[in-house]
Every structure is written in structure tokens, then in C-alpha cells.
Structure 1
């Protein structure tokens, strides 16, 4: 489900606020400027120091990707590659040369172009695997700020709490202020732990899941391209590729491409 990340974060935040309210806590106490500055500012600074400014600039786009990314349509990929296999079987591999220019996916287009150019199958596999490895490294680097922020944030919360307790211990001559001061000191820990486990780490996990889904789709594409190059029967190509599709999402015999995935999403 496309909105699952946003829904999950909303449920997590709502659960924390409702639970705190039922305990009699003032949930708006978390809006403590000094605690937020220490935790959020300290986390941002440590994350920049541990990654780079370029990684930080990508954060808004990564949030949008985590919230709005569509899952790869594996059924459509199977149908597309089987169609290319039928063309190659009927008219030869060179017949695919006219079709490569209209292929939207750069990875599929590159693989088929290598096949049309007569590249050795082992070399085709090596080039496409290298593309996948490079993509995997890029994805790991892009989600690194969220992973690092998830590690730094609780520590920054503890630092903020220590600062608050130092202030408390420096004002023991006013015992009537000790309770509120200690309570305020622990707000920093709350902000640090909550932001790490409700925002940063879940977003990092979602981005990792999206990367794995894309790698899985690309593995399907590689298998299809190599099968086409080997001259496999289109029916055999389909049987090979359908194994990459989860059984519950597989298109029924004769079902239009993507219909099974659409029905699953509607359900």
C-alpha cells in the first residue's frame, strides 16, 4: 500500500500521544525549545559530520520517496519481457533494435541493447550485475543519514538530560522547583528516543525495503534478458520469470499485464 509509511508513522505518533494523555501527562511538554535545540540540532550536526552535505540535501526527496514510492509491477515486467522474447523468437534478436528506443526503463533498455549488439552473455550478465551493485551502494549511502540520526538522537537526548540535571543540582536551595526541573530535564531523552524510533529508523527501514524490491525486479529483468539472448521459448521465459512474482500476485492465465497487482492493491 502506497500510504503505508505515512499511516504507520501517524499511528505510532498518535499511540505515543494518547498513551501519555491517558497517563495524565501533558503531551505538549515535549515542545521544550532548549531540549529540542540540543537533540535535533545536535543530531543534525553529528549526522552532517558523519555523512556529507550532499547526503543531507537529499533528505526531502528521500522522505517523499519513502511516503510515495510505488512497488515495481512484476507482472507487467514479465509480460514486457515475454513480448520481447516472442519478437526475438519470430524475427531474430536484431528485430529488438527498433524497440529499444521506446523502452522507458533505462536498465531494461541497456540490457536489451547489449543483446542486440551481440555482446557475450557472460559479459552482459557482468555489466548488469555491476549496475545493480552500484545501485545498491548508492541506496545504502542515501539512507545512511537516517540510520546515523537514529543512532545519534538517543545519545543527544541523554546529553540534554544531563545538562538539565546539572542545572537541577545547581539549584537545590529551591526544593519546590526540583520536580518540574527534573521532569523538564527528561524531555530531551524522550525527544531523542522517540524521534529515533518513530521517524529516523522507520524511514531508513522503508528505504531499505524499497531498494530490495527494486533489486528483486532487476533480478527478474536480468533473467529475462539472458533468456531472450539464449533463444529460449517465450513460454519457458514466462515460466522462469513468474517465479520472481509472489504467488498471491501472479497474473492468471490470459489476464492482462498488471491486472493482478491492481486487484491486489484494490483489495
Structure 2
């Protein structure tokens, strides 16, 4: 909600400043309902012709959540902890316990990767399958950001289209009206260009950039999981995997609390749910 509030305040300040700059006496100078319909309607029609209709409708439904930052769907801290638990169980050959543990995983990549390891799939096949799974998980947000990018390119074009239509209407009636009405009609027509620029640069592009950033973070997170699963397959020590995760900047509470603890106590802190299985 904090982002939404800042967004609303910034937008209102911008529009208010523009109104004051145009004329303090014309508080409704920026209202042009037909022009807004031309921009929004034309942009939506063009996007639906470019992309599948159901994906565009889904994006429109999710816009409030995207603005409020609710689109983040991965929990890095919990998934990294579960990866370490799986590494300890596989290294100690507790395969039945590992099968039960992996059923609790919410991350599809982690669940599928551990299952492939349990099925004794070759490392090359595991890498190929998991990379395809990674691409499948990322494609959803990538398609949303592409749609927003398309909308940001279409909106100014339809803004210009509305302006041209207004100018054509003005020129046809130029001989029958006075200069005052010509000025009003011209300002009314130019508002569609303003709407197109506002929709593109104040709504669509910022949201596209926001989604692209989230996708990049998700991709980096999945890459770390892939690297960790390869180390699990190779039966690397959980401390080695933990060090790799720390090198990628994982949350600090996945580390042991003290450096002078024994191996058993360190593993019990690292794997609290499986402490009874530590040798």
C-alpha cells in the first residue's frame, strides 16, 4: 500500500501542476472523455490483436496486485533452507525421509530436481530438464512485461490519432466558427496526445520495468537453486552448499549461530526439522 500511496500522490501532484500551468481558472481543462476512450480503447484493441486475449485480460485483473507489489511468488529463505535439508538427507542416504520431505516443497524446480536425483537421472539430463522448467516458471512474468511494453508503445500512437481526428474535425468547421472555438477545439484535440504520453510513461513503462526487475530476481534465485541441486547430486557437504548460497547473498539466518559448535550441533541448527537424523 505504501507504493500505491506514493504513486497516487505523485500522479495527483503532476496533474495538479499541469492544470495550474495551463490556467488556474480552468480546473477541468484536462478532462477529455472521448480522447481518453480513444487512447485506452485503441491501445487495448491493438494489444489484444498482438497477444492472446486471455493473457491481456489476466494482466488487467492483476494490475492492482502488480502496483502494490504482490506479484512476488517465491520465498527464497524457506527454499534455501529446504535445499540444505535435502542435501543432508541425501548425503546421509536417508532416501525415504527425503521423499517425505520433498513432498512439502512449494517450489516446483526444487521438487522436480530432488525427484530426478532420487530417480538416479544423469546429471546432464537433470540440467536440461531443470533449465526448461526454469524457463517455464519465468515466462509468465516475461509475457506480462511484454504486454505492458506493447501498451506503452501503442498509447502515444493512439494519442496522436485522437489529435489528428480532432484537427480534421476542426478544419472542416473552420469557416463556420470563430477563433475562440477553434482554440478550444484544438486544445481538446491535443489532450489525447497528453493522455497517450501519460498512459505510456506514467503507467505502462514503470509497471513493465517493475515486472522485469522481479523476473530478473526470480531468475537469479532459480539459478542458485539449480547450482545447489547439482551439488546435492554430487553429494557435497551441506556446509559447502551453504557457503555457495552465502556467496550469492542468501539470508543470514541460514548460517549456524556459533563457529565453535560441534558438527552435530551445527547441523541441528542448520536442519532443525531433521535434527534427530544427524549422525
Q: Could you tell me how far apart the structure 1 residues matched to 2:254 and 2:9 are?
A: 35
Greater relative contact order: 1 or 2 (C-alpha under 8 angstroms, separation 6 or more)?
1
Residues 94 and 121 of structure 1, relative CA distance in 2, 3 Å threshold:
farther
| CA RMSD, Structure 1 to Structure 2 (Å) | 2.4
Q: Could you tell me how far apart the structure 2 residues matched to 1:8 and 1:201 are?
A: 17
Q: Could you tell me how far apart the structure 2 residues matched to 1:127 and 1:4 are?
A: 40
Cα deviations by residue, 1:182-208 (Å, 9 ceiling, x for unpaired): 111111001011011111111222222
Q: Is 1:157 aligned with 2:159?
A: yes
Q: Secondary structure at the match of 2:92?
A: helix
Q: Could you tell me how far apart the structure 2 residues matched to 1:71 and 1:134 are?
A: 14
Residues 19 and 96 of structure 1, relative CA distance in 2, 3 Å threshold:
same
Query: Which residue number in structure 2 is paired with residue 45 of structure 1?
Result: 45
Q: Which moved more, 1:29-38 or 1:124-133?
A: 29-38
Kindly report which structure 2 residues correspond to 1:1-267, keeping only aligned pairs within 5 A, or say none. Answer: 3=1, 5-7=3-5, 9-25=7-23, 26=26, 28-66=28-66, 67=68, 68-70=70-72, 72-93=74-95, 95-173=97-175, 174-245=178-249, 250-251=252-253, 253-254=255-256
TM-fit CA distance, 1:124 = 0.8
Contact map agreement 1:78 1:242 (CA 8 A) in 2: no
- Give the TM-score normalised by structure 2: 0.81
- Give the TM-score normalised by structure 1: 0.84
TM-fit CA distance, 1:144 = 2.6
Q: Secondary structure at the match of 2:138?
A: helix
Q: Secondary structure at the match of 2:104?
A: coil
| Structure (1 or 2) with the larger CA radius of gyration | 2
User: What count of residue pairs does the alignment treat as equivalent?
Assistant: 253
TM-fit CA distance, 1:19 = 1.9
